Chains A and B, each alone.
Chain A
Amino acid sequence: MRFPRLAQTLLWWRRLRVLTAKELLQLSRDLALMFVIVYAFTADIYIAGSGVSFQLNHAAVVVMDGDHSMASRELIYRFRPPHFRLDGEVSGASEGIRLLDQGKAMALLDIPPDFQRLLQEGRSTGVQIQIDTSNAVLGTLAAGYAGQIVGKYGMEAALARTGLTEESLDTLPLIEDRHRVWYNPNQNDAWFIAIAELMTVITVLAIVLPAAATVREKERGTIEQLVVSPLTPIQILLPKVLSMTLVILAGTAVSVFLILDSVFDVPFKGSLPLFFAVTVLYVFSTAGIGLVAATLTRNLAQVGMLTILILAPIILLSGAWTPPEAMPAGLRQAMFLSPLYYYIEMGYAILLKGAGLDILWDSLLGLTLLGILIFIFGVWRFKRQFS
């Protein structure tokens, strides 16, 4: 009985191979879809990563200078790039507010008359800044930078009056602020965004491709042929997942070497083989979600809408945009249900931080368990529907 069992095993693998080849062939003949996949892994990530910056850059400042003195000009001059950009003087408050209303200016700096005189006499004076906070984040950043500029100006004015210079700061009891930003010393947004976008693209495709491949067979009725064939449900589903994993892995490799490495100079601190291994595990776990979606729907339109509904929370709860500590308490627990959470955590840690398995074993364990659960559920749903 040993020989037939071997033959059966061989047959099992042969079927798997043939069906995987069929899926790949079918995919390669859908030119529009192929184009979209190539676009997603190259141009899309390039567009997302290039030119986007979350920092306050060149925020337009208009000035109402009531003093027109050396001192006021000196202060105004400090509102300059990279964070601010002087956008001229306005004659009155109403003109300034109109510019803020229109969104043409972001801040209005108001310097009172007597500014210079009060400073020279060593008395305190005040300047007012009105900031457009309709974008609260930028408003906060602008307020912070304005505070730094005015604070530094004030301190220097005070030192100059008391006859001290910048150098004499070394002889004063002050705290020397030595901050260093690790993993991304220049706060290059492109690294962060490009990696986040790559992982999002992988997620979208890992769910949509197997789901679409399965539902398409349902919609066209070819699924009946597969079900009456001697194939087991696993043999029908596994090739779909396998072929899509191969495609996604190839796309990821292209993206990593062509876009992340050559264009954005992301420093790969950790092990790339580990990253790809984690990616395979991740694609397999998420493909299960696609299979579940495919069993719940009847046609491609429905599966498309359903995947958006599934994707939105997965991406949002992943920490790609908001790290766990910034999430509201209730949502922080829910993050453990998003497979992308583990993948993002490991992806950033491997690529940017150079972390290895000694640090990431818990995320890896979480992803594996979640993946097995999802995959088993998907296959179970499929089995129930077709046998």
Chain B
Amino acid sequence: MNIRRIRALASKEWREILRDRLFFALAFVVPAALMLVFGYGIVLDVEKLPFTVVDYDRSSMSRDYIHRFIDSRYFDFKGYARNERDLEPLLADSKVRLALVIPERFQERLTAGRPAPVQTLIDGTFPFRAQTAKGYVIAINAAVNGELLAGFVARTQGVTLERAAEQVSPVRLELRYLYNQELNSRWSVAAALVMFVLMVSPPFLTALGVVREKEHGSIYNIYASTISRGEFLAGKLIPYVTISSINVLILWLMVTTLFGTPFKGDFLFFLGASVIYVTCTTGIGLLVSLLVRTQVAAMIMTAIITVVPSVLYSGLLVPVPSLDAAARIEAHLFPAMYYTNIALGSFLKGVGLEVLWDDVLILSLYAAVLWTLSLFLFRKRPRT
């Protein structure tokens, strides 16, 4: 390893990036733009679900019941529908996501002390939203039933309503939310997005940087020079790791100021772990660049191998314990998940190296393996 050669190559590379102004701007603008767009655009809170009601009973009790939904911030009332036949086109056109059907004699049955069925139709196109909506419906019905039952017990056993309420639901549940008391999904998403952005943009830059030389033929200068393989890779990558490390700072600022996510952890630890992660992701780009020959192929291949795992197998949208066995293995094979732990731990939980040391260790190993592999795959004498 000759430091001077590495420095020469790195400064050549740096100049090349700097002089291609669009490329340089995109190296910084793309990560920030991704953060901005996804941070504001991924809304995981299920609120304001548009819904409609078919009320065949039109009684005061049915209206009271419907108002539980109308008054809830989780639902957005879109007006009554006349009958059940009208519901199908409304649901198919996504005009509403949920429909309540209250049968005739709803009030009559309940006042006579008999059960009354209420039908709920939910649009299952977004399964996660359907599941959450179902949870809201169950919770509203449970609350209504608790009151109905308390009223019934109070009437039949001659006790006060408060005493009856205590009797029918004797176990109170006290929920305490740790780390994110307001259940603000934007905080979690913004912190996890640092992982996503740093997984998508550095490999892209790196892969293009190397393949560009291949496609232009300027790589033959390298093949013919005295520079060794290790020196070439190091010199080539240092500028990209530097750019990405600057991006870590920019993203951190965006997450804490723009999205207001609290940063409870140790900043130096977070920075150090992030640099290791970035070294890892540039390594992925390097590996791709050694496998393909054209820039188009490099772009599409990086996009494919980074985007899907970092969205689905990283804990960004789907938590790793919720994945099935095969997918969980895939998550463990990919570096994104470890960095999600570090990001969420540093931002929201306020833990540091003492808890997250294993994640940092695995990322370091990952980076080492990727770089060694690239060293072996890179040949100065290309097979033709």
Contact = CB atoms under 8 A, between A and B. Distances in A.
B148 A134 contact: no
B300 A36 contact: yes
Contacts of B127: 54-55, 184, 187-189, 191-192
Interface in A15-42: 30, 32-33, 36-37, 39-40
B266 interface: no
Interface string B194-216: 00000011001000110010010
Interface string B159-192: 0000000111111111111111101110111011
Contacts, number: 414
Nearest to A100: B178
Contacts of B146: 151, 155
B145 interface: yes
A226 interface: no
A122 interface: yes
A129 B117 contact: no
B297 A138 contact: no
Given A174-B145, A177-B118, A133 B212 contact: no
B41 to A, nearest CB: 4
B113 interface: yes
B159 to A, nearest CB: 11
A50 B191 CA distance: 26
Contact of B169 (A155, A183, A192): A155
A312 B299 contact: no
Interface stretch (B249-257, B271-279, B341-349): B341-349
A5 interface: no
Assign chain A's interface to a size class: 35 or more
B72 interface: no
A171 B177 contact: no
Nearest to A328: B40
Contacts of A368: none
A180 B99 CA distance: 10
B37 A48 contact: no
Contacts of B118: 175-178
Contacts of A125: 170-172
A36 B301 contact: yes
Nearest to B205: A305
B296 to A, nearest CB: 4
Nearest to A49: B312
A293 to B, nearest CB: 11
A175 B48 contact: no
A178 B208 contact: no
A326 B48 contact: yes
Interface string A203-218: 0110010001000100
A88 interface: no
Given A58-B321, A178-B118, A182-B124, A141 B132 contact: yes
Main secondary structure of the interface of B (DSSP, over half): helix
Given A180-B121, A183-B125, A204 B300 contact: yes
A168 to B, nearest CB: 11
Interface size class of B (residues with CB under 8 A): 35 or more
A332 to B, nearest CB: 11
A354 interface: yes
Contacts of B144: 175
A157 B176 contact: no
Contact of B20 (A155, A301, A322): A301
Contacts of B170: 118-119, 122-125, 154, 157-158, 161
Nearest to B358: A102
Nearest to A180: B121
Nearest to A195: B125
A52 B330 CA distance: 11
Contacts of B5: none
Nearest to B151: A173
Q: Which of A141, A306, A331 has the most CB of B within 10 A?
A: A141
Interface stretch (A142-150, A249-257, A371-379): A142-150
A304 to B, nearest CB: 4
Contacts of A298: 22
A312 B208 CA distance: 19
Nearest to A201: B304
Interface string A51-78: 1111111111000000000000001000
Contacts of A144: 132, 135-136, 139
Given A30-B294, A216-B296, A345-B94, A309 B29 contact: yes
Contacts of B44: 136-137, 322
A99 to B, nearest CB: 11
Interface-centre pick from B47, B124, B129 (highest chain A CB count, 10 A) = B124
Interface string A349-375: 100111100011000000000000000
7 shortest interchain CB distances as A-B pairs = A51-B327, A184-B124, A54-B128, A305-B26, A154-B171, A187-B127, A300-B295
Interface of A: 30, 32-33, 36-37, 39-40, 44, 47-48, 50-60, 75, 97, 100-103, 106, 118-119, 122-141, 143-148, 150-151, 153-155, 157-158, 161-162, 169-185, 187-189, 191-193, 197, 204-205, 208, 212, 216, 297-302, 304-309, 312-313, 316-317, 321-328, 331, 345, 348-349, 352-355, 359-360
26 contacts: A57-B321, A122-B167, A123-B166, A124-B172, A129-B176, A135-B315, A136-B45, A136-B180, A138-B322, A140-B185, A157-B170, A157-B171, A175-B141, A176-B116, A180-B119, A182-B122, A184-B124, A304-B208, A305-B26, A309-B26, A323-B129, A325-B48, A326-B48, A327-B43, A328-B40, A349-B94
